[in-house]
Structure 1
């Protein structure tokens, strides 16, 4: 029978797990309580003779897309500068990965997303999103433009109704918004419009409370540092594809975080905490100028900031559902993971980096997602080696992969059945499908609407494919140079 997206997410990581970048691989995974993540990880990482990914013994990878080498459905080269991503189940049993491209320049810059007619917001920007369709084991079927003409698409978050919110990590030149991308109904992505109710600022990531549809958003910037925001939806709001962009700019309430210590003093900077278990009481300061007409939204008095707020993911911590929030690094430590409990209105420090494990130094967490076997997966963006790392329920970090390409990991997200970990290397832009002996649950299974219609004619050279048109297939119409 057809998937009920909300019911599917309720038995998944998105409805009971924790922070960042996120998408149904992020959110479409069952998390059994009886299988803890391995305390010591999967063992030492083995260097790759091809110079791409170092992985533990028994793990392997497949290159899914590669900037300039694989091809889009429109016959353009795949764009690059990969960042946040999320995986969703396709109606035919395959996998749909929504992939951000964090291009800061224009449409002629390296890695830019081609301006497909009908899917482009502004002509001056080269960022955006593609949707990548793969087989259940991560083999490329096709890739197509879902959003173009945005700027610096960094991370984002999944929604309980099965879409991706992509965030512009800039507030320059009228940018700084969140956009919605539907991975299944590609036609829903036509005529892209910013979700102005979520504010204009240097957006990093977001996550959604599936019960109240409250959205928590992180901001990664300086002068001054960014903060965490909460958007409370207006009465009667119902989540569905396209509903957010249809809201008035002032719909709901946008507010900034104010975290106070036991004495009641507002904590100016989260970076000052370095002890796991540190907990603050949170209140929220309303934002009255959410489109930043009078200056940066973060320039509020009496709020809490952090040097680099990164990933966000909705998940349980010690049985309490809430928002995992990442602060990447400071002078006194090399990163933090926090958990905000909206019921108790508390923010608790759950992990502090750097961590030495299996001969690797894991530091500077960035994108984050719930793991199907429990705990979290983070990508790192530090001064040294960059990793994919797991974080156990007790806050212990362990390495899963090391980049040998001189660039950071981005957008970790599991396939809906929990067997494939998709992750990117940002520059020039490579999407990998990593497989191995995950401590994963049994596959969720496919819907009864599987179809073998439109089988691919695959190119051995490019890995691209061509399918007949349809509600879940891209078209070439409107491709511009």
Structure 2
């Protein structure tokens, strides 16, 4: 089974299947380099201001402060991290709201039928602050993460249920989360200039109410081996979690996080890097660095949210930059997949594929207005011949 097929099994199985392999070719043995994308060049901007390759189309799904078409629900401000969940008759797109509790912080969902039409929308988390990114679990819950000092992780229930705070997962400036069903842990990023990379080991897989928070311990280089060490006080007070373990490796502004095939990738916006962690041999290295790209200029800056397709491609969104989603292929090539025009004061957030892999949802957090509270946010869907 090659890497693409293994990834397809992981994505379609959504982590419920233990994969019986012990080795495969390294996903990204060297930082990705410029190349022509698998879908060809971008065409002129469409009616929504989005440049896409031939064969792809975009539509606006929802706008902040406006009723989601086909529902009575007003879409939240500052849409950020997101994920897609199958619900038996279609799917659900979940999106965080990166704003204050008083301005509607939390998370919402949009429900689609099997043809992709909107059939419902509602709030799934309220009263929380700066819910930036997060992550999906194999048991179909959404971990909504607060990006504030002593921020918390909230487990929400897109398919129905009341959100629950998960303090055992630590209190720090949370960003993203990614579930690893093989090792039965959740990886967590921290958005600080000296942030750390963590994993949470639940006492029982599928139950996040208790467990152990650990932090990566490694050298100062861009590659090497690592170990995990337990964080003594996950509450982060009086000593913040990132300063509790000697030798814990610092990362400059942890952002998105994605797991597949015994590998976890995460991004750091402060230095425009994508990191690859090989969980079979406990090593880490760079999958992308904007200072190491050739030929020409680096296409990806403001490195932020990240997701993966069933084919094995990584899709990395920009916070600023040229408002692009860039694509990194399994053979270490990087290219621009799409560009949003006329929204330089915004950022791209929440990229997530449907289970079939033929639709990609994402948001422009502040839209054309660039308003600080994200009142101009726009959520999109791109449909086309994605590699699956």
Conserved in 2, the CA contact under 8 Å of 1:412 and 1:422? yes
Distance 2:379 2:81 in 1: 11
- Which of 208, 214, 217 aligns to 1:255? It is 214
One of 228, 234, 244 as aligned partner of 1:284: 228
Would you say the 8 A contact 1:101–1:152 is kept in 2?
yes
Partner of 2:82: 85
Paired residue for 2:113? 135
Assess, with a 3 A threshold, how the Cα gap between structure 1 residues 229 and 138 changes in structure 2: closer, same or farther: same
Q: 1:386 matched to which residue of 2?
A: 323
Question: Which residue number corresponds to residue 378 of structure 2?
Answer: 430
2:192 to 218, 221, 227: 221
Q: Which residue does the alignment assign to 2:370?
A: none
How far has the Cα of 1:415 moved from its partner?
0.9
Q: Which residue of 1 aligns with 2:372?
A: none
Partner residue of 1:411 out of 341, 350, 353:
350
- Post-superposition shift, 1:375? 1.9
With over 3 angstroms needed to count, the CA separation of the structure-2 counterparts of 1:409 and 1:386, relative to structure 1, is same
Mean alpha-carbon deviation: is it higher for 199-208 or for 389-398? 389-398
Question: 2:67, 2:75 within 8 Å by CA — same for their partners in 1?
Answer: yes
Larger Rg over CA atoms: 1
How far off is 1:73 after superposition?
9.1
Secondary structure at 1:362 match in 2? coil
**Counterpart secondary structure, 1:56:** coil
> So what's the TM-score if we normalise by structure 2?
0.83
In the other structure, the counterpart of 1:295 is 239
Distance 1:27 1:363, change over 3 A: farther
Q: For residues 369 and 343 of structure 1, do their structure 2 counterparts lie closer, same or farther at Cα, with a shift above 3 Å needed?
A: same
Secondary structure of the structure 1 residue equivalent to 2:52: strand
For residues 143 and 198 of structure 2, the distance between their equivalents in structure 1, rounded to whole angstroms, comes to 15
Kindly indicate whether the alpha-carbon contact (under 8 Å) linking 2:8 and 2:311 is maintained by their aligned counterparts in 1: no
Residue 264 of structure 1 is matched in structure 2 by: none
Contact 1:84-1:154 at 8 Å conserved across structures: yes
Q: What is the SS of the residue equivalent to 1:46? A: coil
Aligned counterparts of 1:44 and 1:211: Cα–Cα separation in 2 = 38
1:182 alignment counterpart:
157
Greater RCO (CA < 8 Å, at least 6 residues apart) = 1
Q: Deviations over 1:439-474 (max 9, x none)?
A: 22xxxxxxxxxxxxxxxxxxxxxxxxxxxxxxxxxx
CA contact (8 A) 1:14 1:160 kept: no
1:27 deviates by 10
Query: Does structure 2 retain, via aligned residues, the 8 Å contact 1:157–1:208?
Result: yes
Q: State the 1:211 CA deviation.
A: 2.2
Deviation at 1:426, TM superposition (A): 0.8
Answer yes or no: is 1:101 the counterpart of 2:97: yes
Matches within 5 A, 1:329-344: 329-330=270-271, 335-344=272-281
Tell me the SS of whatever aligns to 1:132: strand
Partner residue in 1 for 2:205? 238
| Equivalent residue, structure 1, for 2:260 | 315
Q: Report which of the two has the higher share of strand.
A: 2
CA distance in 2: counterparts of 1:106 and 1:368, whole angstroms: 25
Query: Which 5+ residue runs of structure 1 have no aligned equivalent?
Result: 1-8, 16-23, 113-126, 261-266, 274-278, 441-481
Alpha-carbon offset, residue 252 of structure 1: 2.3
- Find the residue that maps to 1:233 and give its secondary structure: strand
Q: 1:55 deviation in Å?
A: 1.4
Distance in structure 1 (CA, Å) of the matches to 2:302 and 2:196? 17
Give the Cα separation in 2 of the matches to 1:374 and 1:27: 18
The DSSP-based 3-state class of the residue aligned with 1:197 is helix
Q: 2: distance between equivalents of 1:90 and 1:48?
A: 33
Point out 4+ residue stretches in structure 1 off by more than 6 angstroms.
356-360
Q: CA deviation at 1:193?
A: 2.8
In the superposition, relative to structure 1, how do residues 435 and 196 fare at CA in structure 2: closer, same or farther (>3 Å)? same
Displacement after TM superposition at 1:409 (Å): 0.9
Give the CA deviation at 1:374. Answer: 2.0
For the pair 1:420 / 2:359, whether they are aligned, the reply is yes
Name the counterpart of 2:36: 40
Q: Which residue of 2 aligns with 1:6?
A: none
Report the Cα offset of residue 80 of structure 1: 1.8
For 2:247, what is the secondary structure of its paired residue?
coil
Distance 1:417 1:435 in 2: 11
Structure-2 separation of matches of 1:137 and 1:408: 28
2: CA distance between counterparts of 1:40 and 1:371? 18
Equivalent residue number for residue 61 of structure 2: 64
Is 1:324 matched up with 2:295? no
TM-score of the aligned structures, taking structure 1 as reference length: 0.68
- Aligned to 2:168, the other structure's residue is in SS state helix
> Any idea what SS the aligned residue of 1:150 has?
coil
Q: Is the 8 A contact 2:97 2:131 kept in 1?
A: yes
For the 8 Å contact 2:86–2:92, the answer to whether it is kept is yes
Aligned to 2:3: none
Give CA deviations for 1:411-450 in whole Å, capped at 9, x if unaligned: 111111111111111112211110122222xxxxxxxxxx
Deviates more, 1:144-153 or 1:56-65: 56-65
What is the CA distance between 1:10 and its match in structure 2? Answer: 8.4
**Alpha-carbon separation, structure 2, partners of 1:356 and 1:408:** 25
